[in-house]
Structure 1
Amino acid sequence: MVMGSSGSKLEKALGDQFPEGERYFGLENFGNTCYCNSVLQALYFCIPFREQLLEYYSNSKNLTDAEENLLTCLADLFTQISSQKKKTGVIAPKRFVQRVRKQNENFRSYMHQDAHEFLNFLLNELVDTLEKEANAAKSSPETSPLPEKIANGPRHPLPNGVQKEPIVTWVHKSFQGILTNETRCLRCETVTARDETFFDLSLDIDQNSSITSCLKNFSSTETLNAEDKFFCDKCCSLQEAQKRMKIKKPPHILVIHLKRFKYIEQLGRYKKLSYRVVFPMELKLTNTVDGADDSEYSLFAVVVHVGTGPNHGHYVSAVKSHSHWLFFDDENVDMMDESTLQSFFGSAQEFSGNADHGYILFYECVRLRS
């Protein structure tokens, strides 16, 4: 394993403050895999997720018939990093990248890929695998290594016609929130509410705005009229209505994706929006349903897109670990000041030399933090 020069520099910079048991390792790039590396670093420093993944690995490593999948490859990679004798260095996530490319043809080419698409794909794949294992465990509990740890679904088969409770995996427990879509008929005032789950919130952005204002816009009231009228079950007809989206159950880890890539019809292509969007270190969620407590969150990772367009560029990540901010750029790891995060807000000008923009933000709920 190659030790990067930035590694020894990092150890010197942290000195006596180097956190006990922590490891800071860069990830080798296998031809435009920065989209993958930047997301992996953010997830590694998402402590509840990392701890569950390491526990999963230690519980399942004795299984000789375990089939390789994205979950086992990721657990193996995180275990490799956390068990290194050295505190800093570089690791090659070759097996993990090969598995990603094997399972999803979109990531097989050496073209620039989207970090948000990769994050979505990864979390959904992990959930699918855990759900399959949980279902297998329920059907044959004696062969299951982890009947309780994988999920907290119902233990007994339910009679025919009874709706099964969905399996809640530890990925759900970290990242899943619930949105409620409320539609109010303007004729009879009946409110129809429909819940939907989410792993991240994708927010439209405006020039010179903030995450708070983007969240307010996300939950703003929209009027449905003309061709967009709503079919009201009570009125049994199409009616004008008001619709809004609110957060019913905030997640433990709130992932916010800023929609920086927009399709411009006049140009016939996607364009990157370099808008200045301020993201705070501490965030209060106020667009929750009535009766839900306002949740307070603390920023711990930012995936940054470097470049002027959607089809080329580079991804890096800034991560908070034990009150220190670190900058991960593939193999390189450096200390950074918290104030440097402001350079990722974006530009107040339409055209700017600064091409580093915050793209995916990771917040942890501080009230639930152990």
Structure 2
Amino acid sequence: MTSSLKRSRVECDPDSKVLFKSRNECSIISRRHVAKVPLGLANLGNTCFMSAVIQVLFHLKDFRKLILVEENWKVSSRTNNYSYSIEQDLAIAKSLRNVFLQLETGRESNENQTYISPISLHACLKKHANELFNFQQQDAHEFLRFLLGSIQNLFASKKESSLTLKDINSVSSSGQQPKDLIEALFGGLVVTKTRCLECENETRHEETFMDISLPVHGRRSISWAISDCCRREVLMGNNKYACDNCLTYTEAEKYWSFVELPPLLIFHLKLFSENTRKVNQVTPCPLELKMTRWCDSKVQNGYDTYRLSAIIVHQGFGLGEGHYYAFVSCYLTDYVHCFKHEITEDNPSSHCFPWYCLNDTETFIISESDLMQRLFECPTCVETPYLLFYVKET
């Protein structure tokens, strides 16, 4: 599907400057940075869901670093034969690495190149995950989980990696290191507490997560959605709690909170109902998100502030139709210091970075305020944020 997304208004002056104008800001950025706009990815037939996910993962610096380390994907001659499943995961990882290399070096090797074709990765995925690549529109969230799961399985089969957990600053708030590098980047821990209202005995059940699914309701914000997931529930009537201390069914209070927060926090907005129809409602999302109020009392490390850094958008009316594309903040790129310096000169809001729109083969820069207006301020919109990627600030 061809997106109807239009470019933000851009004006140029003779001094090799590009002026990005929007409703609330006026920022000047050197043309040399505009030349750094990322390469696009060719749509190979309803593969926009794949392109959007790959573009976001590529721009997550720690994940990109993980994939590009070649030694991570080499099989030692002393290693026992991998299972067929691991061979599949290895083939996918190597194909993904090749795409990342093309995205990283393509613009430098050919300044006229504007996109690449991920045909080898597509062929590999089609071979090993045919249900996701049958020339029909698929779910970007499902593909993201499949891809991360595949790489996670591969690391689980290897005794060591050339890129260590220390390299990506992944020690958790409890002082324990995650089991693998994917969990180190995306994995968190939530605790469900159940307190008997008769004897006051409390039980804890901890569970890991790779992303958090949030409800969509009217124009309520992502903060409301997180609070809704964490709200206290009273177990009563036919839903009473089997208390091990009282040895009977009692009324109880149940709620959950975050125990450990990952460097990269992914929120999945539940836009699609059971009949796959879409809830075309806007969920306002802050650029900066403080997680303290939803954290367990044991979380005292102070690193609870996240910045919205990437968004995967669904455009359309249902799960099996429509179009996916991505927005990535220049905050994530290697040119962030250049952007920040130049924006600060003209705008006191130094955190106000431009964004890249990555829409199949089309890539361009959009101002932060224009992005927020487009995605979060329209009363109803078929272009709806679906996956939100927050990066922890340190």
- Asked if Structure 1 and Structure 2 have the same fold, meaning a TM-score greater than 0.5 normalized by the shorter chain, the answer is yes
Matching residue within 339, 358, 376 for 1:345: 376
- Specify the alignment match of 2:295 in structure 1: 288
Instruction: Quote how far apart the aligned CAs of 1:241 are.
Output: 1.3
Deviations along 1:19-61, one digit per CA (max 9) or x if unpaired, are: 89x6611001111000110111111111111112112x25546
Secondary structure of the equivalent of 1:278?
coil
Matching residue within 66, 73, 91 for 1:69: 91
**Is residue 341 of structure 2 the alignment partner of residue 332 of structure 1?**
no
| Number of equivalenced pairs | 326
Instruction: Quote how far apart the aligned CAs of 1:16 are.
Output: 4.2
- Specify the alignment match of 1:312 in structure 2: 321
Q: Percent identity?
A: 28
Alignment-mate amino acid for residue 204 of structure 1: P
TM-score (ref. length: structure 2): 0.76
CA contact (8 A) 2:257 2:295 kept: yes
Q: What is the CA–CA distance in structure 2 between the aligned matches of 1:48 and 1:221, rounded to whole Å?
A: 35
Q: What is the CA–CA distance in structure 1 between the aligned matches of 2:235 and 2:129, rounded to whole Å?
A: 38
- Specify the alignment match of 1:27 in structure 2: 41
Q: What is the CA–CA distance in structure 2 between the aligned matches of 1:44 and 1:30, rounded to whole Å?
A: 19
Alignment-mate amino acid for residue 364 of structure 1: V
Instruction: Quote how far apart the aligned CAs of 1:150 are.
Output: 5.9
- Specify the alignment match of 1:39 in structure 2: 53
Q: Which moved more, 1:227-236 or 1:108-117?
A: 227-236
CA contact (8 A) 2:37 2:365 kept: no
Q: What is the CA–CA distance in structure 2 between the aligned matches of 1:19 and 1:247, rounded to whole Å?
A: 39
Secondary structure of the equivalent of 1:38?
helix
1:189-204 matches, cutoff 5 A: 189-204=200-215
Alignment-mate amino acid for residue 35 of structure 1: F
Secondary structure of the equivalent of 2:39?
strand
Alignment-mate amino acid for residue 75 of structure 1: R
1:1-370 matches, cutoff 5 A: 15-18=30-33, 24-55=38-69, 57=70, 60=73, 67=87, 68-84=90-106, 85-86=109-110, 89-134=114-159, 146=161, 149=163, 168-263=179-274, 269-285=275-291, 286-293=293-300, 295-321=304-330, 322=336, 323-342=353-372, 343-345=374-376, 347-348=378-379, 352=380, 354-367=381-394
Q: Which moved more, 1:243-252 or 1:67-76?
A: 67-76
Q: How well do the aligned residues superpose, as a CA RMSD in angstroms? A: 2.8
Deviations along 1:158-181, one digit per CA (max 9) or x if unpaired, are: xxxxxxx99622211111110111
- Specify the alignment match of 2:173 in structure 1: none
Segments ≥4 residues shifted beyond 4 Å: 9-17, 58-68
CA contact (8 A) 2:311 2:387 kept: yes
CA contact (8 A) 2:165 2:184 kept: no
Unmatched runs of 5 consecutive residues or more in structure 1:
1-5, 138-145, 153-164, 264-268
- Specify the alignment match of 1:158 in structure 2: none
Alignment-mate amino acid for residue 339 of structure 1: S
CA contact (8 A) 1:346 1:357 kept: no
Instruction: Quote how far apart the aligned CAs of 1:261 are.
Output: 0.7
Q: Kindly tell me: are residues 196 and 62 of structure 1, through their superposed partners in 2, closer, same or farther at Cα, counting changes over 3 Å? A: closer
Q: What is the CA–CA distance in structure 1 between the aligned matches of 2:50 and 2:363, rounded to whole Å?
A: 16
Secondary structure of the equivalent of 2:43?
coil
Q: Kindly tell me: are residues 212 and 74 of structure 1, through their superposed partners in 2, closer, same or farther at Cα, counting changes over 3 Å? A: same
Q: What is the CA–CA distance in structure 2 between the aligned matches of 1:117 and 1:185, rounded to whole Å?
A: 37
Instruction: Quote how far apart the aligned CAs of 1:112 are.
Output: 1.2
